[in-house]
Amino acid sequence: MKCCTGGGPTQGIGVGHNLEQHSSLMCRTVVEPRKPSTSLICEEALRKSRGALASGKTRTLEFRIAQLEAIFQMLENNENPFVEALQKDLRRPRFETLLSEITTVKNEARYAINNLEKWMQPEYMEKSMTSLLDICFVQSEPVGVVLIISSWTFPIQQTLVPLIGAIAAGNCVILKPSDASLNAAELMNTLLPKCLDNECYHVICCGHADMVELLENRFDHIFFTGDRTTGKMVAQAAAKHLTPVSLHLGGKNPCYVDKDCDVAMAAKKIAWSRFVNAGQCPLAPEYVLCHVNVQDKLVEALHSCVEEFYGKNPQESPDFGRMVSVEHYKHVKELLSGGKVAFGGQTEESDKYIAPTVLLDVRESDLIMQQDILGPILPVLRVENLEGAIEFMNRKDRPLATYVYSNNSQVISEVISKTSSGSFCSSDSLIQSMCISLPRNGVGNSGAGAYGGKYSFDTFSHKRSFLLRNSAVECVTYLRYPPYVDKNLNLMLWASSLARKKEGWCQII
């Protein structure tokens, strides 16, 4: 409410007006239109989306491909605005934005476009004697209206990659980009309504507090990327409506460096993956378990790589990013309290800058080993042997990824067979996320559900079973009806049972 004290309605008041009238006019109030609540915005988006679904418009191949092509063209035509948005949000270098965000999403869109017709085809299934004359298949159908809540670490990729999967599967979507990466969120809020169908796809920009309102609505699937605390809140809200949830969370990703490996090569790959995006990458190595014989050599090689990548003073490098916010800067800085700084450790709050840092003598009980880092800090811990490394890994919750650097294939096999994680990569880090045919997923506390490529299509699809009965089989299936007799039972059991062959199980057909 604003009080108008000059001009406008008060002009032309003469001395003949009494004081009460004058005072009333002087304090005439203007009620500004209130911004609709997040809940009302969401309800309207849901109404439009459900109407569009009921019309069947999202079910056609042509419609889905048109929307996917529109996303591709949006990225193609707005490369510089996206680079500028992430420069403002994260001081993200152009190189990193194009490689990890723009190109990744464009490839995802193209992959879906190239394969969508095949994905949409019915999958015909094996049959038993009781269904020999029938048609049995599974058809992928849209699950309905999907809510996608994305993270700030890679805001374009983590918003648009699941969106592409949801569109490919024929769903309507409500997007909630992270408010931490505000410029990226606002850019998507501006561009997506211009290129996508406005009845089917909606962007809702709101803060973390408003997300509670958002989650009070009923969706048909919720896809969340972010921290475990918020992930639990999302899962609890979804449970009220029995809504399926995909969760892609963080984790303490271990990296084992064996005595039998090329330490210089390992250091370069580890340093790149840990310090890209200023360490704000959920899939990066969170700590290194290093054989005692190579620790000094590895730390020295990591230091050399940081200088090679970012110079003597990384704060001056155009290739090194910043923390997304002052709050996140303070959180990451607090983690420096554990262990001893081998190199790095410099911080500056006004610049949201934390130097690429390696910590030694870190204890398992230190805060940095209890929380996700999401910053440019790498603890290096010594282990006596491979068995000690595996035992250490298994004391932690199952992570998003496990990394091993070794020239010994037996060492790699040991880690694979005795640990569990969302993904595994040997002799490199992060690179598995760039393979479009591999799923991106967590396990246990690091998440549930897979996405990327065909896995996104499957995540957002309902696999509907169909059996189209041939009425001619009634000459056999009448045996199921009462009154029951043993002869009929034996015939039905024979017709519906499975037989085992040497090469595996098969059905009688």
Cα separation, 469 vs 268, whole angstroms = 61
What string of H, E and C letters represents the secondary structure of 351-415?
HCEECCEEEECCCCCCHHHCCCCCCCEEEEEEECCHHHHHHHHHHCCCCCEEEEECCCHHHHHHH
Bridge partner residues of 462 (DSSP): 141
Token digits of residue 266? 């390992």
pLDDT in tens, 221-254: 999 999 999 999 999 999 999 999 999 998 899 9
Evaluate whether 204 touches 145 at the Cβ level (below 8 Å). no
User: Which residue type, as a one-letter code, is found at position 138?
Assistant: V
Evaluate whether 87 touches 95 at the Cβ level (below 8 Å). no
pLDDT in tens, 429-485: 999 999 999 999 999 999 999 999 999 999 999 999 998 988 776 766 778 889 999
Cα dihedral 324, 328, 329, 330, rounded to 10, equals: 160
CA angle 466, 468, 474 (to 5 degrees): 135
Q: pLDDT confidence of 9, banded at 50, 70, 90?
A: very low
Evaluate whether 398 touches 251 at the Cβ level (below 8 Å). yes
pLDDT in tens, 169-185: 999 999 999 999 999 99
Cα separation, 411 vs 380, whole angstroms = 19
Q: Is 509 helix (H, G, I), strand (E, B) or coil?
A: coil
Cis peptide before 483 (omega within 30 of 0): yes
Cα separation, 290 vs 52, whole angstroms = 55
- Say whether pLDDT at 198 is over 50: yes
How many C-beta neighbours within 10 Å does residue 43 have? 14
DSSP label at residue 9? G
* The predicted structure's pLDDT at residue 475: 66
Residues whose CB is less than 8 angstroms from the CB of residue 232 and which lie 6 or more positions away in sequence, other chains included: none
The DSSP line for 402-461 is EEEE-S-HHHHHHHHHH---SEEEESSSSGGGG-TTSPEE--GGGEE-EESTHHHHHHTE
CA distance to 10, 75, 260, 268, per residue, from 257 (Å): 78, 38, 8, 12
Give the end-to-end CA distance of the chain in Å, rounded to a whole number: 77
> What phi and psi, each to the nearest 5 degrees, are found at residue 501?
-110, 165
> What phi and psi, each to the nearest 5 degrees, are found at residue 229?
-60, -50
Q: pLDDT confidence of 352, banded at 50, 70, 90?
A: very high
CA distance to 24, 37, 40, per residue, from 1 (Å): 15, 18, 22
- Say whether pLDDT at 374 is over 50: yes
Cα separation, 257 vs 369, whole angstroms = 18
Evaluate whether 344 touches 358 at the Cβ level (below 8 Å). yes
- Say whether pLDDT at 154 is over 80: yes
> What phi and psi, each to the nearest 5 degrees, are found at residue 349?
-65, -40
Q: Is the dihedral of CA 380, 384, 385, 386 positive or negative?
A: negative
User: Which residue type, as a one-letter code, is found at position 329?
Assistant: Y
Q: Is 506 helix (H, G, I), strand (E, B) or coil?
A: strand
The DSSP line for 224-251 is EES-HHHHHHHHHHHHTTT--EEEE---
How many C-beta neighbours within 10 Å does residue 115 have? 14
CA angle 52, 56, 59 (to 5 degrees): 110
pLDDT in tens, 413-432: 999 999 999 999 999 999 99
Bridge partner residues of 148 (DSSP): 175, 223
pLDDT in tens, 38-92: 888 899 999 999 999 999 999 999 999 999 999 999 999 999 999 999 999 999 9
Evaluate whether 128 touches 508 at the Cβ level (below 8 Å). yes
Evaluate whether 126 touches 357 at the Cβ level (below 8 Å). no
The number of CA neighbours under 13 Å toward the Cβ of 91 is: 20
pLDDT in tens, 112-124: 999 999 999 999 9
Instruction: State percent of the chain over pLDDT 70.
Output: 91
Mean pLDDT taken over the chain: 90
- Say whether pLDDT at 37 is over 60: yes
pLDDT in tens, 316-349: 999 999 999 999 999 999 999 889 999 999 999 9
pLDDT in tens, 376-407: 999 999 999 999 999 999 999 999 999 999 99
pLDDT in tens, 256-313: 999 999 999 999 999 999 999 999 999 999 999 998 889 999 999 999 999 999 999 9
Residue 242, class by beta-carbon neighbours within 10 Å (0-12 exposed, 13-18 middle, 19+ buried)?
Answer: exposed
